[in-house]
Structure 1
Amino acid sequence: MKQMSFLVDVNLCLGCRSCQMACAANRGLARGVFWRKVNSIEYVNQGKIIKYYLTSACYQCENPECIRLCPQKAYRKRQDGIVILDSAKCNGCGICIHACPFEAPVRDPETGLTGKCDYCYTLLDRGLNPYCIDACPVQALHLLEKINGEETTDSTIVKILPGVPKIQLTRPSVRYRRLNMGRQIMRFPLPRRKEGFGGGGL
């Protein structure tokens, strides 16, 4: 069995949101609706705040809650593992929105119906990349393919990044390049705690 997924290199991501805007524009999303989002992630490591940008969309889970809980059976999984939503079956109940641990399904305020990233599967079927991949100016997004659940032997590819919630119950398929301290990772010393009251010295 094949499983398509995204490979994200946060060491390259600039936070420019080109992927996010390309997705919204080319998929004809309503104003303010995004199936792909870029967030700033911060965490503390050895007394420093580590910051990087993370682009994310549907995680194409191997055990997706959206498929399990949708009362309209509007979701299905293709043979390549991509979870797609049949908008003709969706009634906008929002159950999938609340069930997804990654908040991937999004309600369209104009139609009241739900939509989500489907890896632009109509492009994939023609041998083309999703819009987000081609829009990235630094090639921080790639496609990754797993066969029969076998993980890559590349030690630089990981399932989880520091500072990101460790949600593995649904078995998300997205993978990442291991975080390296480079020019795109900003490190700030933590401010020293003030002593006493009344604005004591640092």
Structure 2
Amino acid sequence: MASGEGSNFEALVTACRQGPLRGRVLQLVVNNPGCGAQRRAKRLNIPCTVADHRLHRRREDLDGVLIETFTAAGVDLVVMAGWMRIVTPRLIGAFPSRLINIHPSLLPSFRGLDAVGQALAAGVTLSGCTAHLVTEDLDGGPILAQATVPVLNEDDRMTLAARIHAQEHRLLPLAVALAAERLRDQG
């Protein structure tokens, strides 16, 4: 699931095709028609569905479309790779312990929107990203993996976000592998 440029989506596809992640990206869903992620999916030959959130009155209705799409594709794990929408219990319940999110902070610090700005405003010297399982507690699910970056004196939102984003590309495939291993262990 992606809303923007899709670089985390592409990092997952690359990790599957070139290693180290053993798996396949079966489907991409975007909520912004014409976004970068949609163009990447076409270039990478990955099926892409547009589920424009603006066409649904309720979040649950959008999540119903997501459930149908992922069920039809036969996915095992669902990854929110820059999905800029809050999901509902309907989607979470359809994929319990199988819905992964990447967030640009060291959770539990700086949940929600503008985590990078929150970190800068708080004056922290260390930031990073967290991959976690999605629960009804916003950015509060079990942590799968984290990566850190220093916050430099000259950092602004753009420079810090760029360093965090580079770590997301490395961390997300690892988190997907860890989540898949958890599923195998649970039977």
The answer to whether TM tops 0.5 is no
* TM-score, reference length from structure 2: 0.23
Which has the bigger relative contact order, CA under 8 A and spacing at least 6? 1
* TM-score, reference length from structure 1: 0.22
Greater gyration radius: 1
